Chain A
Amino acid sequence: DTGVSQNPRHKITKRGQNVTFRCDPISEHNRLYWYRQTLGQGPEFLTYFQNEAQLEKSRLLSDRFSAERPKGSFSTLEIQRTEQGDSAMYLCAAINQGNTEAFFGQGTRLTVV
């Protein structure tokens, strides 16, 4: 158990629908990261938060993507008007202050049909 849980584990949606994923790290994890992993590739960085502040967004994060971390605890990643190219595994990772090891959740697998 990494202390990072993600929900849902799987999501199938129709193209054009909005989806939201949630990540819950344990309270000591002040930095939270979102990555996307497609078939045959390693995880790619999307965005990260330090507490509630979103500090960086990748160019991969189009305008249809938005992430929040209210109160510096759980985080949500929303994709609006989903496209088939959004089909991927979305991973959340968290790090303690002063630590360097990232703990990953099991991910949310999104399939857009």
Chain B
Amino acid sequence: AQSVSQHNHHVILSEAASLELGCNYSYGGTVNLFWYVQYPGQHLQLLLKYFSGDPLVKGIKGFEAEFIKSKFSFNLRKPSVQWSDTAEYFCAVREYGNKLVFGAGTILRVKS
């Protein structure tokens, strides 16, 4: 079974700083990868997903992620964060039956 590791559990940034959150999954082959965000008190929402094609995926709210097959990685980036990006971010890989295997999450706090 797949496993997903997220490199940082807590990240604190100032507004306008650039963001990169690391995500690695455990083994290769065809993978479907996701980033979800959970704002305080809200449900998990899909930020972006990768199935195939262009390894640079653009999502909502200015987020993007790059799939690097050789590194088993799917890192999330945003050039300039805003206070409203304060949330918890989860990387996930899809398994058989559309089950999702999640990483432990990264809590992002953006200081205004």
Contacts and interface: CB of A to CB of B under 8 A. Distances in A.
Interface of A: 2, 4, 31, 33, 35, 40-45, 48, 55-56, 91, 93, 95, 100-102, 104-107
Given A100-B51, A106-B42, A43 B99 contact: no
Interface in B31-64: 32, 36, 42-46, 49, 51
Nearest to B105: A42
Interface of B: 4, 9, 32, 36, 42-46, 49, 51, 90, 92, 94, 97-105
A95 B100 contact: no
Contacts of B9: 40
B44 A91 contact: yes
B44 A104 contact: yes
Given A40-B9, A42-B104, A48 B97 contact: yes
Given A42-B102, A101-B46, A55 B97 contact: yes
Contact of A95 (B44, B98, B101): B98
A56 B103 CA distance: 21
A56 B42 contact: no
A48 B9 CA distance: 28
B49 A42 contact: no
A41 B44 contact: no
Contacts of A100: 32, 49, 51, 94, 98
A45 B100 contact: yes
A13 B112 CA distance: 39
Nearest to A43: B102
Contacts of A105: 43
Contacts of B90: 42-43
A32 B58 CA distance: 27
What are the nearest 3 A-B pairs in CB distance? Answer: A42-B102, A104-B44, A106-B43
A101 B105 contact: no
